[in-house]
Amino acid sequence: MKFTSLVVCLFSVALSLVSAQQTVQSGASTNAVISQYGSTFKNAGGSVLHDKVNVYIIFYGNWSSTEAQQEQTVFMNFIDNISSSPWFNLLKQYTDKNGKAVTGPLNLAAAVNDAGTHTLNLTNTIHKQIVLDAVNSGFLSPVNRLDSNGIYIIMGGPDVSDNDFCKVNCGYNGYSDEFQYMFIGYPGICPDTCIPSVNKASSPNNSPAMDAAITIFSHELQDILTDPRGDGWEIQNSNVTIELGDFCSGQGTSSDQFGNITQSSTGSYNIEVNDHKYLVQTVLDLAAQQCKLG
């Protein structure tokens, strides 16, 4: 087996600060998706992920370089701290069929490196098996048991290709009978498609690829917390499924998608959490029917 465990011990990454920053002002707004579906968006009678949600990360592929390990730390820092932000508080509007809301916090429970047990050319079917094998390895669970209320993340490395990545999506979320998961490809493989244009040259955490992965995660997290099993907060319209993250998923760097962006020589961001800067997708505020950051 090619599994190696990661010690979940988070530390701050030093960032170079600049004195001159330019803020692009763009307030909360209502887009076409909200206008068409926002007023009828409701829980279809299913579940949400409430209370503490354990997060398990499988860094798939080659993450052995010093740069790659720094990128892992950036991603784990975000997961471990985002629950305390005003941005995450917006998700607390969303309840299950019994009125229990998404509350968090996210808890980074475990992380593991998988160098490529299922080759480096993946498909949606293989994603589920990667999760199962990681759990059975003992590195994600000491009792080799799936966490049905947790989130399993497969983070593809720069050497990993995927059937849909860069062509159909930059990341996606799914579920099985026993767990929910998401796959995020390495955005540096196709920067024109999966890295926001404002952060392609430089980014807040000194890694355009990992900062973009956090942006992608901020979309998928909205969906997986509020519609983990495909029976919660979603609208089925012909062959299209609309979940929470789709309401504020714009193109480029639209105000709907990112709200107020602060631009600096080290990249663009719209939230700060524990002195770290990130570019995240906005969240639909149900009451206001607008895309907001908090």
Give tens-digit pLDDT for 23-35: 233 345 568 899 9
Q: What is the pLDDT of residue 142?
A: 84
Q: What is the mean pLDDT of residues 98-105?
A: 98
Is residue 11 over pLDDT 70? no
Q: What is the pLDDT of residue 208?
A: 98
Q: What is the pLDDT of residue 77?
A: 98
Q: Confirm whether 165 is domain-assigned.
A: yes
Tokens of residue 195, six digits: 């890295």
Contact in structure between 163 and 149 (CB atoms under 8 Å): no
Tens digits of per-residue pLDDT, 231-250? 999 999 888 899 999 999 97
CATH number reported for the structural domain that contains residue 158 in this entry: 3.40.390
Q: What is the pLDDT of residue 26?
A: 39
Classified as helix, coil or strand, 272 is strand
Q: What is the pLDDT of residue 25?
A: 33
Q: What is the pLDDT of residue 31?
A: 85
Tell me the residue range of the domain where 139 lies: 3-7+46-235
- Element (DSSP H or E) covering residue 240: strand 240-243
Q: Confirm whether 268 is domain-assigned.
A: no
Q: Confirm whether 26 is domain-assigned.
A: no
Largest Cα–Cα distance of the chain, in whole Å? 51
Q: Confirm whether 72 is domain-assigned.
A: yes
Classified as helix, coil or strand, 188 is helix
Q: What is the pLDDT of residue 68?
A: 98
Average model confidence (pLDDT) for the chain?
A: 90
Is residue 15 over pLDDT 70? no
Q: Confirm whether 135 is domain-assigned.
A: yes
Location of structure tokens 């959490």: 273
Q: Confirm whether 105 is domain-assigned.
A: yes
Domain count, the chain: 1
Q: Confirm whether 245 is domain-assigned.
A: no
Share of residues in the chain with pLDDT > 70 (%)? 88
What is the chain's Cα-based Rg? 18
From 97, 82, 87, select the one nearest 42 (Cα to Cα): 97
Q: What is the pLDDT of residue 7?
A: 45
Q: Confirm whether 261 is domain-assigned.
A: no
